[in-house]
Each structure stands twice: as structure tokens, then as C-alpha cells.
Copies of this chain bind each other. A is one copy, B any other.
Amino acid sequence: MAVFQKALQVITPGRSTTAVTAELQEIVRESGIRTGICQVFVQHTSASLMVCENADPDVREDLERFMQRLVPDGDALFLHTAEGPDDMPAHVRSVLTQSALSLPVSEGRCALGTWQGVYLWEHRAGSHHRRLLVTVLGDL
């Protein structure tokens, strides 16, 4: 049994999704772990993780449109508006999705389904530096 941990930095271009699947697979390869889990954590409260269909970019576009309708920017409901109309919606969107995600590791790779990708979802309008911490646990 071994543990391997590595940070992953992503500069987001503002509200959008960024694929991190390849980066996670590379960290798992580097860990040498063959069977176990790969835990990913976003150290921010305005960006989150999702496992999503990886073939048609319209799927992620539709998810963004759905979230904008469900949690409208500038909603009069919100008291916390210090950083602008996208501030509180970003926190809500993060809570409704995942700050932490665990993936199985099998034969030295994250065992995703054929159509699955892992994405970092930036919920703020502007570009941000986001730090993810990846922990791999299992048998070498």
C-alpha cells in the first residue's frame, strides 16, 4: 500500500469547464499505484468538479445554461454580493456539484467509463488560478 499526493494548478479563462482527465491519469501513472482510488479536491469555494460526458461539447454548454437559469447571477435573494453578481451564484453552484471527487484506480489508471471525463468547472466570470490536490492511495 502506498500514498502519493500532488498539486495540480489550473488557470481558468472565467466561467467554463476545463478537462483535467489527462492530468489525473498522468498523476496516477506517476504514483505507480495499480489498484486503489484517486481523490481530487478543489481548494476553492467558487469552482468545482464534475464527471461528465466527454464527446459532445454541447453537453457542458447545456449544463452551464441550466446552472445559469437555476442560480441566476444578480438574484435579489442573495445578501452576499461583495464581489459582484456572480459571487454568490458561484458558491451555490459549487455546493450543488462537487468540491471532492474520488475515482477508482484499476490497472494503473483512473477507471472511467468510455464516455466519462473529469472537468473543473469555474463558476466565476473572471479568470482564476485554481489549485487542486490529488491523492492516490492503493497497491503498487
> What is the interface of chain A, defined by CB distance below 8 A to chain B?
1-3, 5, 35-37, 39, 41-45, 50-53, 56, 58-59, 61-63, 65-66, 69-71, 77-80, 82, 88, 91-92, 94-106, 111-113, 115-116, 131, 133, 135, 137-139
Contacts and interface: CB of A to CB of B under 8 A. Distances in A.
Given A36-B3, A102-B100, A88 B62 contact: yes
Contacts of A35: 3, 5, 135
A138 to B, nearest CB: 5
Given A80-B56, A133-B111, A138 B3 contact: yes
Contacts of A52: 45, 91, 95
Contacts of A5: 35, 104, 106
A44 to B, nearest CB: 5
A53 B139 CA distance: 34
B80 A116 contact: no
A106 B3 CA distance: 11
Given A96-B97, A100-B103, 10 more contacts: A3-B35, A5-B35, A36-B137, A43-B113, A53-B91, A59-B80, A65-B78, A66-B71, A66-B77, A105-B135
